[in-house]
Amino acid sequence: MLPPLIALACAPAPAPQVAPDGRLDPVAHAARASLVLRGVRPSAEESARVRRDPEALDALVAEWVESPLFLETVRDVHAQAWWLRSDTRADPPSAGPLLLTGSSEIEAAFQEEPLRLVSEIVADGRPYTDVVTAEHTMIDAILAEAYGLPFDPEGPDWQPATYTDGRPAAGVLSTNGLWLRHVSGVANAHRSRASWLARSLLCDDLSARDLPVTSIPHEEGEALRSDPACQGCHQAMDPIAAQLYGFRFAVRPGDMRIAWLLDCRDDVAHACYPLDLYEPSQSDGWIEQGLPTPSFYGLPSEHLGSLGRQVAADPRFATCAVRHFWGWFTQDDAYGAVPPPVVDTLAQGFVESGFDTKWLARALVSSPEFAAAPPQVMRSEQLARWLFDLTGFRWTIGESECDGVTACGGVRDLLLTDELGMRTLAGGQDGWDVVVSDHTPTPTQQLVLSVAAELAAAHVVEADLAVPPESRRLLSALAPDGTSDVEARRAQLGLLVERILGGPDPALVDELLPHWRDARARHGADGPAWEVVIALLLQDPAAWVY
């Protein structure tokens, strides 16, 4: 028989409350909308507003999409869709002007560049089409050194910047960060990058096309021109790939380390900071490779800039954006599970709104299909944000000192990374080997949740009991010295239940009281008893299933 504390934490996951028509009730709908838009649950006041007036949800959603947390979600959506956050390969070196910068921080900056451009476009209310047409990128102080671009140290952490090496402007398609992740081999001739573009921006997965398999032997070049099985993909892929010439096929961390060992001389200089990833003189390299004339699905195209504009004008660009947001918001397959009428309706509204991403987010979470979607399990990104919102706890590792000689790795958030972290164990993806998230409560997900809950509970109890009640996150009903009588204890448990689980539950308070007393008797102090009940509540399925 399980001990009572474990039994309470391992109770079956309850389905969120639903109305007779199969939709979530207003409070549960608000919780789901808040978690997918911001990664945190509604505050007690926000839940109370919806409880009093269900129509208040629309106003709250309008507030939530203006939150900086929504911009974090926008970056999360695109990191998943574009496979950008990947730390399981070698880190870029801490060398040259970045000698005292952690390699993991350099890597994170590279990965965030295209994501920051997308979220900046959303924050400014510019049309989503700017994602592939913008004339600038976004950089932080690390990228300014890594790319040799001007940066104002007195300005914001991320600032607009323009490449000066002659590359055409095409939003994220012009960013170093995108092509450092999505590399190509010389023989591949940028085809993998063109395939990524079709899949990620148009939801046209060229590799998934149903084509006949041939066993007729012939030369590779001849096959691409004459074999129907090859032409089925290459007639769309190769003319797009031709427009990506000018970008180096790959600059990997290993190349960068070798370049520094060779003092950045001659042929390897491009792999040192500042990185040189674009060479205008190579933009016609497609001719030597024998690729067809640059075009976009049969439409003539001049260069990367015109390619970006053609992508933006393609009707599939709007529907693909809808699919990516749907996939994140409902934890469904963005390519196969979205009901076509939903895609069509949302895509039409998205276009008519002027490609307003905030409109799309509001429309999606307000749709009946969203309210009727099956229960969801918190993603690792949501778990990290929710725990910090409740407790102020971040699960980090690697705060090593840089002494100017030994390169340091930097700080890593264990819920948001994979090399040392827990993201894939918690059901997430690593952007390289694991590119599909697992949205079920697996044993590893439960282990990650249990450890994170215990650490967060210990953190918030220690922090709360060190400050006056009015400055505390969770333990505001306790006396200044952290003690409580029976009534104060019950009131504090009630506040914890409401704050962590999203609503009052007197019966659960009755259930928790003996656990608090048992923990108090075992440890001989109030603090550990509060750690136990907070950790239990954080692991309650009603907290992480929504």
* pTM of the full structure: 0.92
> Residue 411: what pLDDT?
86
The single-letter code of the amino acid at 188 is N
d(CA 386, CA 380): 10
> Residue 509: what pLDDT?
97
Q: Are 123 and 71 in contact (CB under 8 A)?
A: yes
d(CA 29, CA 13): 17
- The candidate with the shortest Cα–Cα distance to 307, out of 246, 259, 363, 361, is 246
> Residue 406: what pLDDT?
46
- The candidate with the shortest Cα–Cα distance to 235, out of 206, 210, 213, 214, is 206
> Residue 230: what pLDDT?
63
> Residue 211: what pLDDT?
55
Q: Is the peptide bond before 300 cis (omega within 30 degrees of 0)?
A: no
> Residue 223: what pLDDT?
54
The single-letter code of the amino acid at 125 is G
Q: Are 392 and 473 in contact (CB under 8 A)?
A: yes
Chunked in runs of 10, what are the mean pLDDT values of the chain (546 residues)?
38 54 85 98 94 96 98 98 93 93 93 98 98 98 98 98 97 98 96 97 82 56 58 83 97 94 94 96 95 95 95 97 95 78 95 98 95 94 98 86 54 93 96 93 96 98 97 97 95 97 94 97 97 98 95
Token pair listed for 301:
């195209």
> Residue 302: what pLDDT?
86
